């Protein structure tokens, strides 16, 4: 069920041709209107949609942005982890401002179940770093409330994946699946095509660089705290972003999606580049200040001030959301990283 089911391995490229009209049935058994559609959770349990949902709640800004880009934003009745002002581009930002905030972080269980939603789009599931997710409703409670539950698999199911994420096929699958579920499959195909075009242009320039010759890259999650760094491992979306950009995630070898490491571990990796992973503060000046603070920490902290990247000032200021959470912005992050760390390759017009 390529493109429809939430696959644990996250290895299959999203399929084209998802129906949003036409006649007859396709390989997934969907009829003339594109329904029914089946979507599986991280463990393979399927949910069947016989029609597009009309009242949707999203767990965070990433899922909200996907629905806005798909043209289904008018059906979103609430969100958790709302996007900061100016986080989303252009008209999307104005649209996002109109969506009721059900929780500044994880939506409280009672509020979610009583929201009146018929669909909850979940970005988190097994993610260990989303505080409060342990109080999430059970599947029985979702069913009792009349809420169908689907996941952004490339993040929610990442820790259970069998293989590392090295490309954006998992993210493409999320977009394709949401398009099918919401009856906007045509728009989903357009979004996926746009992402693929961006990544293909980068791949043309840097894709043939051998792994051993790629610059070492460390994603410094400043908002996770400075006492103990949080590494993004091979199964995290960020690993795919970094790899597609022609860099080498220095913690690609750790199992799972995120893992606490020590500063000694970071020093041993001695990365060539460091991304200052900062979440949008909802204000440009506040976000810029957070980047300044992250950089100042690395320059003053005894364990990191001698790192090659720190001494050379090789920092990238790219938001955490575009790197570690599934979305169209992942392809834009690939572009930005690649152009920053491989400027000569792009000047050469490769």
197-218: pLDDT as tens digits: 999 999 999 999 999 999 999 9
Q: Which of 243, 145, 154, 141 lies closest to 202, judged by CA?
A: 243
Res. 94: pLDDT tops 60: yes
Residue 16 domain-assigned (yes or no): no
Task: Write the CATH number for 81.
Answer: 3.40.50.1980
Residue 319 is given by DSSP the state B
Whole-number Å distance between alpha carbons of 176 and 185: 7
What average pLDDT does range 246-250 have in this prediction?
98
Residue 3 domain-assigned (yes or no): no
Pair (265, 219) in one structural domain: yes
Number of domains in the chain: 2
321-343: pLDDT as tens digits: 999 999 999 999 999 999 999 99
Residue 300 domain-assigned (yes or no): yes
217-232: pLDDT as tens digits: 999 999 999 999 999 9
Res. 191: pLDDT tops 50: yes
Residues 6+ apart with CB under 8 A from 121: 56, 57, 58, 59, 63, 66, 67, 150, 151, 152, 178
- Structure tokens of 288? 């810029």
Pair (281, 313) in one structural domain: yes
Res. 17: pLDDT tops 60: no
Pair (284, 313) in one structural domain: yes
Residue 144 domain-assigned (yes or no): yes
Residues 6+ apart with CB under 8 A from 141: 109, 113
Residue 112 near residue 55 (C-beta atoms within 8 A)? no
Q: Please, what is the average pLDDT of the chain?
A: 88
What average pLDDT does range 124-131 have in this prediction?
52
CA torsion angle for 111, 116, 120, 126 (degrees, to 10)? 30
Q: Which of 167, 194, 221 is the last residue of a domain?
A: 194
What is the bridge-based pairing of β-strands 46-49 and 37-40?
antiparallel
pLDDT at 85: 82
Pair (52, 88) in one structural domain: yes
The sign of the torsion formed by the CA atoms of 116, 184, 47, 29 equals positive
Pair (180, 226) in one structural domain: no
Pair (221, 282) in one structural domain: yes
Q: Which of 34, 23, 39, 66 lies closest to 171, judged by CA?
A: 66
Residue 227 domain-assigned (yes or no): yes
Residue 67 domain-assigned (yes or no): yes
Pair (254, 166) in one structural domain: no
Residue 205 domain-assigned (yes or no): no
Whole-number Å distance between alpha carbons of 200 and 350: 12
Pair (265, 334) in one structural domain: yes
Q: Which of 132, 166, 194 is the last residue of a domain?
A: 194
Residue 333 domain-assigned (yes or no): yes
Res. 186: pLDDT tops 70: yes
pLDDT at 143: 95
Which residue, chain included where needed, has tokens 């988190």? 124
- Between 236 and 283, where is the model more confident? 236
Which residue, chain included where needed, has tokens 């991304």? 275
Pair (164, 236) in one structural domain: no
Res. 267: pLDDT tops 60: yes
What average pLDDT does range 114-125 have in this prediction?
93
User: How far from each other are the two terminal CA atoms of the chain, in whole angstroms?
Assistant: 37
Pair (82, 222) in one structural domain: no
Q: Where are the alpha helices (DSSP H) in the chain?
A: 61-70, 90-97, 109-113, 139-144, 153-156, 169-182, 185-206, 237-244, 263-269, 284-300, 308-312, 320-324, 329-341, 343-347
pLDDT at 348: 58
What average pLDDT does range 11-22 have in this prediction?
34
pLDDT at 33: 57
Res. 5: pLDDT tops 80: no
39-79: pLDDT as tens digits: 998 888 899 999 999 999 999 999 999 999 999 999 999 99
Pair (60, 175) in one structural domain: yes
Pair (148, 231) in one structural domain: no
Residue 297: Cβ within 10 Å count? 15
286-300: pLDDT as tens digits: 999 999 999 999 999
State the residue range of the domain holding 271: 210-347
Res. 131: pLDDT tops 60: no
């Amino acid at each position: 069920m390529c493109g429809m089911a939430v696959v644990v391995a996250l290895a299959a490229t999203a399929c084209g041709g998802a129906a949003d009209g036409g006649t007859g049935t396709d390989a997934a058994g969907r009829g003339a209107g594109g329904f029914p559609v089946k979507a599986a959770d991280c463990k393979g349990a399927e949910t069947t949609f016989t029609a597009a949902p009309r009242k949707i709640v999203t767990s965070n800004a990433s899922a909200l942005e996907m629905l806005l880009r798909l043209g289904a934003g008018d059906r979103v009745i609430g969100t958790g982890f709302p996007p900061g002002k100016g986080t989303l581009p252009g008209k999307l930002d104005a649209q996002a401002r109109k969506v009721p905030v059900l929780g500044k972080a994880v939506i409280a269980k009672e509020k979610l179940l009583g929201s009146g939603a018929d669909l909850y789009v979940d970005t988190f599931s097994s993610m260990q770093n989303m505080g409060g997710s342990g109080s999430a409703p059970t599947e029985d409670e979702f069913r009792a409330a009349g809420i169908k539950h689907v996941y952004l698999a490339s993040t929610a199911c990442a820790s259970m994946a069998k293989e590392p994420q090295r490309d954006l096929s998992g993210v493409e699958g999320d977009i394709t699946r949401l398009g099918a579920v919401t009856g906007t499959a045509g728009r989903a195909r357009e979004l996926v095509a746009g992402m693929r075009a961006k990544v293909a242009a980068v791949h043309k320039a840097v894709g043939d660089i051998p792994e051993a010759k790629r610059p070492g890259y460390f994603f410094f999650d400043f908002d996770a705290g400075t006492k103990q760094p949080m590494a993004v491992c091979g199964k995290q979306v960020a690993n795919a972003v970094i790899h597609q950009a022609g860099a080498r995630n220095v913690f690609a070898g750790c199992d799972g999606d995120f893992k606490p490491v020590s500063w000694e571990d970071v020093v041993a990796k001695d990365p060539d580049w460091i991304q200052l992973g900062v979440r949008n503060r909802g204000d440009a000046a506040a976000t810029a200040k957070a980047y300044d603070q992250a950089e100042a920490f690395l320059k003053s902290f005894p364990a990191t001030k001698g790192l090659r990247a720190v001494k050379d000032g090789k920092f990238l200021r790219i938001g955490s959301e575009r790197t570690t959470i599934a979305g169209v912005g992942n392809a834009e992050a690939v572009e930005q990283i690649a152009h920053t760390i491989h400027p000569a390759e792009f000047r050469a017009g490769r």
